Homo-oligomer: A and B are copies of this chain.
Amino acid sequence: MGTPAAQDAGPRRVPRPRADALRNRERIVTAAREMFVEFGPFAPLDDVARRAGVGNATLYRHFPDRDALVHGVVLAVMSSVNDQAERAAAEEADTFDALVRFAHAAAGERIGALCPMLSSGFDGHHPELVAERARLEVSVQGLVTRAQEAGRLRTDVAVGDLMVALSQLTRPLPGVGCLDIDQFVHRHLAIFLDGLQAPARSALPGKAATLEDLRSDP
């Protein structure tokens, strides 16, 4: 006490998570992400724990139930996707090329695996999720807006359309890899992106999907 280190914080309140605990949490999220991509969001949690190399109860310490784990994985994927969006915006000269690069990068991040996770009990109002969505607003929405202003992207679509179709087209098929969908993903994405270029050949039914529409319970 009285040391400089003790000044800016109360005495050992929230005593900084231990290094090994952080590493375990990381490993669990990684394992869960892989398992969910491969077997869907109902992969046995014991298997997730085994793949992460921890006991099952350790998993439950970090994530009290499946929904919490799904939440963690969704956050991780969204974060990666946002990273990709920011990188694409920064490094790509042409506005549509940036979109294309982002889309294929997001496919690589297995963004399609998010879809089935959203079906689980899911709190769309969780602060962390709201924050990550705000980041998405800035990055991907930016990509879309700039491409539209440059006349490179048809104006009857919105960012939600891009995200949903991107996710659907890249959704994995849970279970064993009979009919490996991955080999087709980038083809179909390319076709869809072609369809996104202005001018529109056909009038689109329905209304453009905004980010708000992607909220679980609006």
Contact = CB atoms under 8 A, between A and B. Distances in A.
A188 B178 contact: no
Interface in A136-184: 157, 160-161, 164-165, 168-171, 173-176, 178-179, 181, 183-184
A201 B206 contact: no
Contacts of A186: 205-206
Contact of A206 (B183, B193, B194): B183
A56 interface: no
Interface stretch (A5-13, A26-34, A73-81, A115-123): A115-123
A52 to B, nearest CB: 18
A105 interface: no
B157 A184 contact: no
A91 interface: no
A200 B160 CA distance: 25
A199 B171 CA distance: 27
B122 A178 contact: yes
B195 A116 contact: no
Stoichiometry, copies per complex: 4
Contacts of A120: 175
Interface residues of A, number: 53
Given A187-B204, A205-B187, A119 B192 contact: no
B202 A190 contact: yes
Interface stretch (A16-24, A126-134, A209-217): A209-217
Contact of A176 (B119, B175, B193, B196): B119
A58 interface: no
Given A119-B176, A168-B181, 7 more contacts: A116-B173, A119-B174, A161-B188, A179-B213, A186-B205, A193-B202, A194-B195
9 contacts: A115-B173, A116-B174, A119-B174, A164-B184, A184-B209, A187-B209, A190-B204, A192-B195, A195-B195
Interface of A: 40, 42, 100, 115-116, 118-120, 122, 124, 157, 160-161, 164-165, 168-171, 173-176, 178-179, 181, 183-184, 186-188, 190-197, 200-206, 208-209, 213-217
